[in-house]
Structure 1
Amino acid sequence: MRKSRMDFGRRLLVANFSAGHFLPIIFYLFVALPIHAGEKWTGFRSDGSGTVTADLPTRWSPDEGIAWQADIPGYGQSSPVVWGDHVYVTSSEGPWQQDCQVHAFDLQSGENLWTTHVEATTKVENYFRNSRAAPTCCVDESGVYSFFANGDVTAMTHAGKIRWSTPVIKTFGEVDNERGVASSLAQTETHLFVLVDHHGPSYLSSIDKRSGDVVWKADRGDRVPSWSSPVIAKTGKQAIVVTSSADTVDAYDAASGKRLWQLDGLQGNHIPSASVIGNRIFVGSTTMYGGATDEDAVAGSNCCIELTEDDGKLGYKVRWGAERANSYYSTPLAFAGYVYYVNKVGVLYCVNQESGDQVFAKRIGNPCWASAVGVTKPDGEQLVYFVLKNGFTIVLRPGNEYDQVARNQLYDASAMMDARETAEKQRKANTVPADQAKPKSGPEKVFAGMPESQLHQMFSYGDPMVYGVAVARDRLLIRTGQTLFCVGQQPKGVAK
């Protein structure tokens, strides 16, 4: 196994050298410090690092430590984002997900402040294995920016008033992706970035935050369908859009859309996104049905890339490929000198951040669909929070051994049964009539005739499922398909 990992790593290094990217390293350190949780959580994994400074609780249960929980209309798979006292999440309803919704909740009380409806410009089947409001919003001082599987990017004020809406997929053509679009938005101060990779003309596009105009569109050719999200890196004053998707990692100039470099030869980076810490990019990959099957190549594709610069030309260097790591749905977390990956059966892999050597592997009981968060407390203590798909949270102290601080339950059996019943009723109400549903394509074609109950068992579906998390004002926000939970001290006078 070790030899295979090293062979794959050598192939990547040879590719770098051949492409002229094996360059002298000049460090252009950009912001690597975690943002303060009291201010904001601005997008998917906040700033793309998944790290934060906060005084989060380490222990809670269904009866203690939950400040509030709020029902979310419809169904959604996106993560929360936060600006000030506003928490934003998305959902969708209707057989074709034609009713797209953005919700604002009060961080202190959980009160639903407003819901704004966006009428979809394209149809996406409301099917439990499809993307259902999966892309995570971006938020800034001007408001919140949403993106849905139907391809509409919409800007709203913090009061929920629509400023503009841009129909990206309607403009650039129908998407052939058997599970729908799930890539979240990335942002700079002035622009949003949308990634669409599918069996057809794929692209990365830039949208002006003020007007909603498409500034540039970078064509990516026909691709393997992918659901990972772009992330922003910076070298000096230059912003770079990094995409880890469909078997390559690409870097684009955020201002012009020019591709700066591409690393190919990867396998399995269709779901996990890249993490950016300092001048390092950490790539996540996984084995999946109908996709990558070479386990050694997939493990090596969980790699570390270093940004380089030579005489003004930006490039990269592959530092290592992991030996056995596998990311499945969640994005790898680089934190406190280690990189953490969780595979599809709930095995946590920890590797050394500098060398990629495995430190330990430990079964933690369930996979993570939400990405882990690295937390630095005010007193300097560092902890990692893994919120598992089944609602349990593992709190881990970073180190060379598995050091579990706590294992916390979010909801009890009764709440789980209620959530399951509610989700089942909603699925039935939103079922597309059989004579109107499009034929399934790709791997989904194999499952088209199977009963839903069998598919739930095969792929471990079953509500409630945790899809995303955020941290704000020393509180942990956890989102299932139809509920938003807030873990933290309950304010006086606020009913749970």
Structure 2
Amino acid sequence: MANRHRRRLKVWTLTTLVWNAGLLVGVIGFANENWTSFRGDGSSVVQADLPTQWSPEEVTWQTEIPGYGQSAPVVWDGQVYVTSSEGAFQQDCQVHAFDLRTGDKNWTKQIVATTPVENYFRNSRAAPTCCVDDSGLFSFFPSGDVTAMTHAGEQRWSLSLFKKYGEVQNERGVASSLAQTDDHLYVLIDHHGPSYVVAINKADGSIAWKTDRGDRIPSWSSPVIAQINGRKLVITSSADTVDAYDASTGEALWQHHGLQGNHIPSPSVMGDRIFVGSTTMYGGATDADATAGSNCCLKLTEVEGKPSFDFLWGAERANSYYSTPLAFAGYVYYVNKVGVLYCVNQETGKQVFAKRIGTPCWASAVGVTNRSGESLVYFVLKNGFTLVLRPGDEYDQVARNQLYDREAMLEAQELAAEQRRANAVPSDQVKPKSGPEKVFAGMPETQLHKIFSYGDPMVYGVAVAEDRLLIRTGQTLFCVGG
């Protein structure tokens, strides 16, 4: 107990020093006001006063989202943005804006998809998360359409990547989210075909640069922005490699290869460290030891003035599944496909503990420091429960919170089933499947739901802004706190 108390005291002291340093700058604007892209700034670490306990009756507000979508929310100046799609071929892409404080819908805008994508629960459905800045909102859909809008919903420009560079060969669809700098958006397309990373000028939708990656295997991970000595890098962890590109020119700077299973989790950046997530998956990575070692940490360095990296460690036992690893308060957290949480030491990669927490996370965990200097980790599980943990060498659960009750869950299941039926692809228009998907093509939907735990309602993404936790399922947006 004494050792445990000293460990907590050390964490508390460090976070208090950080907090006190922040007080020297000023107390105004403590809480993160905006959440500008997938996982915020790419770290999923914020300052906020979030509640630690709640029940379905204590949810601040909830609002229905037309259609169905898997993107996470983004927030700018009190407005929350999410995307969704409708139609048998997701031809109706939608962007929605909600009031952060009330949940009222401010507007919905339609974007006509330029490339059809089957509306099927095994496919990505409006999965890429938007980016937002002071000029407006930037959306990306599995149809390959990138669109810029003002905060009032007026379209500024639209670009069809697939019409420009060719359709993707990825039967599960495109789910990679946008990354951004002040001037550019970045899109990663890895598939069975000519793969690439591309930079788009925010001002007018023109292509700033495109760097080819050769033929790859399908991947759904998202790029993230890192920085070393003032130089911004685009980091991709995808299709068995980690790559760095110059954010201004697209120059390929370095590559770490030999990984296995980093097709779904995205890289996480904290300072000069890159944390990579990998998972075993059907038709892909199957070696548990190799996959564990691919959950690794790289350090950004320079060699003779050129960006480089050092491989610091590969985890002894870890598996990320869909959610991105979280590096926070001296630890790195991973959740696997059967709901086992792995915690490793951030400096060494040595396992600290492993704990079964129930269902897996599709939404990435968030590390939160509140005004008291307390550090907490929020894991929003796929089934809507949120675990709040205190970082440490032992599993220290503060709370387990329910988002919706059984009645609401059953209603959401029926609404999702109705949406699938209404948007079903006519049998004579269903494309033949190949690869792993060919095995599942003839199975009943109920059996596939059971095999892959795809039962609605499912939590796909979260965001934190103005002391509020936003949680998004396929058809509903929830707000806790504030």
TM, length-normalised to structure 2: 0.94
Partner of 1:57: 51
Q: Does 1:183 align with 2:179?
A: no
Contact 2:49 2:467 survives alignment (8 Å): yes
Could you say which residue in structure 1 is the equivalent of 2:229?
236
Say whether residues 1:379 and 2:359 are aligned partners: no
CA drift at 1:340: 0.1
Query: For residue 338 of structure 1, what is the aligned residue in structure 2?
Result: 331
Aligned residue number for residue 264 of structure 1: 257
Q: For 2:70, what is the secondary structure of its paired residue?
A: coil
Partner of 2:432 in structure 1?
A: 439
Contact 1:36–1:52, Cα closer than 8 Å, also in 2 = no
Which secondary structure does the structure 1 equivalent of 2:477 belong to? strand
Match of 1:25 in 2: none
Identity across matched positions, percent? 75
Give the match for residue 110 of structure 1.
103
Q: Which runs of 4+ in 1 moved over 6 A?
A: none
Mapped partners of 2:174, 2:353: distance in 1: 34
**CA shift for structure 1 position 36:** 5.2
Structure 1 stretches of 5 or more lacking a match?
1-32, 490-496
Residue correspondence of structure 1 range 408-487 to structure 2 within 5 A: 408-487=401-480
Q: Show structure 2 runs of 5+ residues with no match.
A: 1-21, 23-28
Quick one: distance in 1 between partners of 2:225 and 2:31?
19
Asked whether 1:282 is paired with 2:275, we answer yes
Q: Deviations over 1:168-210 (max 9, x none)?
A: 1111001000100000000000000000000000000000000
- Distance across 1 between alignment mates of 2:107 and 2:31: 23
Q: Name the structure 1 match of 2:73.
A: 80
For 1:273 and 1:77, the matched residues in 2 are separated by: 16
User: Which among 153, 158, 164 is matched to residue 165 of structure 1?
Assistant: 158
Task: Find the residue that maps to 1:477 and give its secondary structure.
Answer: strand
Residue 45 of structure 1 is aligned with which of 29, 39, 52?
39
1:312 aligns with 305
Matches within 5 A, 1:5-404: 37-64=31-58, 66-404=59-397
Corresponding residue of 2:17: none
Q: Is the 8 A contact 1:75 1:92 kept in 2?
A: yes
AA in 2 matched with 1:57: P
| Aligned-partner Cα distance in 1 for 2:450–2:163 | 35
Question: How many residue pairs were aligned?
Answer: 455
Return the alpha-carbon distance in structure 1 between the equivalents of residues 90 and 436 of structure 2.
22
* Cα distance in 2 between the residues matched to 1:306 and 1:238: 15
How many angstroms does 1:235 deviate by? Answer: 1.1
**Aligned-pair CA distance for 1:238:** 1.1
SS of residue paired to 2:56: coil
Aligned-partner residue type, residue 146 of structure 2: V
Deviation at 1:401, TM superposition (A): 0.3
* Contact kept? 1:58, 1:405, Cα under 8 Å: yes
Deviation of residue 310 (structure 1)?
2.0
d(CA) in 2 for partners of 1:63 and 1:428? 31
CA offset at residue 434 of structure 1? 1.0
Q: CA deviation at 1:236?
A: 2.0
Aligned-partner Cα distance in 2 for 1:38–1:460: 33
What is the identity, as a one-letter code, of the residue corresponding to 1:138?
C
Q: Secondary structure, in 3 states, of the residue corresponding to 2:411?
A: helix
> Hey, what's the Cα distance between the residues in 2 that align with 1:77 and 1:140?
21
Which AA in structure 2 matches 1:210? A
Conservation of the 8 A alpha-carbon contact between 2:65 and 2:476? yes
**SS of the residue 1:219 aligns to:** strand
Q: Counterparts of 2:433 and 2:153 in 1: how far apart (Å)?
A: 36
Alignment deviations for residues 89-119 of structure 1 (CA, whole Å, 9 cap, x no partner): 0000000000000000000100000001000
Per-residue CA deviation, residues 273-329 of structure 1 (Å, 9 max, x unaligned), is 000001000000000000011111100000000001122111001000001100000
Q: Is 2:32–2:46's contact at 8 Å kept on the other side of the alignment?
A: no
In 1, are the aligned partners of 2:266 and 2:324 still within 8 Å (CA)? yes
| Paired AA for residue 61 in structure 1 | S
Any idea what SS the aligned residue of 1:424 has? Answer: helix
Match of 2:12 in 1: none
Q: Distance in 2 between matches of 1:378 and 1:478?
A: 22
- Is residue 114–residue 145 contact of structure 2 (8 Å, CA) maintained in 1? yes
| Conserved 8 A contact 1:178-1:443 | no
